[in-house]
Amino acid sequence: MPFATPEPEPYRIVLGVAGGVAAYKSAELTRRLRARGYEVHPVLTREAQRFIGSATLAALAGRPAHTELFDDPTTPIPHTRLGQGADCVVVAPATAHLIARYALGLADDLLTATLLATRAPVVLCPAMHTEMWENPAVGENLATLRRRGVLVLGPDEGPLAGGDEGPGRLVEPEAIAAFVARVLEGYRGALSGRRVLVSAGGTREALDPVRVLTNRSSGRQGVALAEAAARLGAAVTLVTAGAHEVAPDVARRVAVVRVESAAEMRDALARAFDDADALVMAAAVSDFTLEARPQKIKRGDGAPTLVLRDAPDVLAGLAAVRRPGQVLVGFAAETTDVEANAARKLRAKGVDLLVVNDVTAPGAGFDHETNEVVILSRDAPPERVPLTSKAAVAEVILARVAALLDRGAR
Ligand code: CTP
């Protein structure tokens, strides 16, 4: 008798449901996940059960719904078993409270214990009122979780419970199911499978073997961009003239090329550019260079006259040879007529996005931990990013890059 081909095991999804009105949509989500052939293991928090019955989810999932950390008759160790066996954990809706507990690493109920015990990808689908969604506490907790590799889907904008309207609506069940399918196929972030080239730091032009002409850029924003791109799943090359190191958790995904002068930066970027899906040009490249003297200029010889020459405009040079579909992001350091100069630069440099820094603003620009920028593009109104960490600025920029790449790829 011929051997029967073994059926592949279905993917096992743990569906976490937290206590918000949108919990009722978890019933539909269970159906949509089942329709894709996945096993669904519902886990409800105590508050979730005020909004939807565990019997409903159990019936739709075709297996028991879990609610208790202890006293589960089906297993003596539910808190680890569910997380260990999952191919993906999706929490829909994820409330502000659930997000906070997860960010803190609490494990005071079955759902948070499952989240801590899993090595599977985790997708959070936030749903809450706009005021809560926009509260920095929620934003910072989500930023922490994103940094740890958690995927965040939504929320959507639209009608909310109680007649309100705005961002905070749970993403529709079919869109969540489709996203889970992508995650199971290997998707790990908005830049997964992309190659991102980032430049950082202020270049140094040698006067002689001892002295250099440079600028105040520290390279922090560029390093934050490289780290954020890696966390979103990209393979990153960082060409840097700065001294800052990439964070250890993502260092494996970032190839670092150290350069000094504008010409070295041009050459290093040119080598990597063709393979890159996106170039984010955060480096402060010198506009001027000079003939370096082979020996140290001696004080006794009198103050020298320095003759500066134009350095290459690296970004404009690369923009001129870009492939269709490549996304280019330039930065603009301005001190006067910030927006008018920047709008001109957007066109002149041939980039898709121009991130404008008023380097004289307090807390922003060179050598600060924080930044405040405006993102200009050719087809959308300017996006203002108020004073925040350079990591958060990087996330906003890369979300725009990911959206442009997705649009180009379609
Ligand atoms: N840039 C570059 N090569 C240079 C100078 C700048 O590639 N020699 C890039 C920067 O990395 C940045 C963008 O061009 O992404 C704008 O840099 P900025 O210094 O603001 O503009 P400049 O072109 O130098 O123009 P200006 O000095 O007139 O402000």
CATH number reported for the structural domain that contains residue 158 in this entry: 3.40.50.1950
Q: Which residue has the higher pLDDT, 187 or 261?
A: 261
Report pLDDT for 406. Answer: 78
High-pLDDT (> 70) share of the chain, %: 98
Q: Which residue has the higher pLDDT, 174 or 143?
A: 174
Output the CA torsion 192→231→195→332 (10° steps): 130
Ligand 1 centroid from CA 271, angstroms? 20
Q: Would the CA dihedral through 395, 396, 401, 402 be positive or negative?
A: positive
Question: With a 6 A CB cut-off, is 331 part of the ligand 1 pocket?
Answer: yes
CA distance 282 to 357: 11
User: If we measure between CA atoms, which residue out of 42, 16, 21 comes closest to residue 127?
Assistant: 21
CA distance 113 to 17: 13
Nearest protein CA to atom 5 of ligand 1, as residue: 285
Q: Examine residue 5 and state whether it is found in any structural domain, yes or no.
A: no
User: Can you name the residues that pair with 197 across neighbouring β-strands?
Assistant: 237, 279
Ligand 1 centroid from CA 273, angstroms? 18
Q: Examine residue 357 and state whether it is found in any structural domain, yes or no.
A: yes
* Residue whose tokens read 């494990």: 107
Report pLDDT for 2. Answer: 56
Q: Examine residue 177 and state whether it is found in any structural domain, yes or no.
A: yes
User: If we measure between CA atoms, which residue out of 92, 78, 73 comes closest to residue 24?
Assistant: 92
Residue type, 287: D
Question: With a 6 A CB cut-off, is 333 part of the ligand 1 pocket?
Answer: yes
pTM of the model: 0.67
Pair 41, 160 in one domain? yes
Domain end (from 184, 219, 234): 184
Domain assignment of residue 169, given as a range = 12-184
Domain end (from 160, 184, 208): 184
Domain end (from 184, 216, 237): 184
* Residue whose tokens read 């440079």: 214
Pair 210, 306 in one domain? yes
Q: Which residue has the higher pLDDT, 72 or 307?
A: 307
Q: How far is CA 275 from CA 235, 298, 328, 331, 404, in A?
A: 11, 45, 13, 21, 17
Mean pLDDT value of segment 7-36: 94
CA distance 60 to 396: 38
Out of 72-86, 199-213, 269-283, 302-316, which region has the weakest mean confidence (pLDDT)?
A: 72-86
Best mutation site among 204, 273, 315, 338 for ligand 1 pocket (most ligand atoms within 8 Å of CB): 315
Question: With a 6 A CB cut-off, is 198 part of the ligand 1 pocket?
Answer: no
Pair 44, 87 in one domain? yes
Task: Yes or no: say if 79 and 113 are a contact pair by the CB < 8 Å rule.
Answer: yes
* Residue whose tokens read 């910072």: 140
Best mutation site among 281, 336, 341 for ligand 1 pocket (most ligand atoms within 8 Å of CB): 281
Q: Would you state the structure tokens that stand for residue 380, as one six-digit string?
A: 């959308």
Question: With a 6 A CB cut-off, is 262 part of the ligand 1 pocket?
Answer: yes
Host H or E run for residue 112 = helix 110-117
Q: Count CA atoms within 13 Å of residue 94 on its CB side.
A: 31
Pair 216, 70 in one domain? no
CATH number at 376 reads 3.40.50.10300
CA distance 399 to 410: 17
Question: With a 6 A CB cut-off, is 43 part of the ligand 1 pocket?
Answer: no
Task: Yes or no: say if 63 and 34 are a contact pair by the CB < 8 Å rule.
Answer: no
User: If we measure between CA atoms, which residue out of 153, 149, 140, 142 comes closest to residue 119?
Assistant: 149
Catalytically active residues are: 215
Q: How many domains is the chain partitioned into structurally?
A: 2
Q: Examine residue 87 and state whether it is found in any structural domain, yes or no.
A: yes
Pair 81, 118 in one domain? yes
Ligand 1 centroid from CA 192, angstroms? 29
Pair 17, 162 in one domain? yes
Report pLDDT for 1. Answer: 52
Nearest protein CA to atom 18 of ligand 1, as residue: 332
Question: With a 6 A CB cut-off, is 281 part of the ligand 1 pocket?
Answer: yes
pLDDT in tens, 372-407: 999 999 888 999 999 999 999 999 999 999 989 877
Pair 150, 291 in one domain? no
Nearest protein CA to atom 20 of ligand 1, as residue: 332
pLDDT above 60: residue 410: no
Mean pLDDT value of segment 325-339: 91
Q: Examine residue 3 and state whether it is found in any structural domain, yes or no.
A: no
Q: Would you state the structure tokens that stand for residue 186, as one six-digit string?
A: 């290997």
Pair 379, 241 in one domain? yes
pLDDT in tens, 144-170: 898 788 888 989 888 888 888 888 999
Task: Yes or no: say if 60 and 38 are a contact pair by the CB < 8 Å rule.
Answer: no
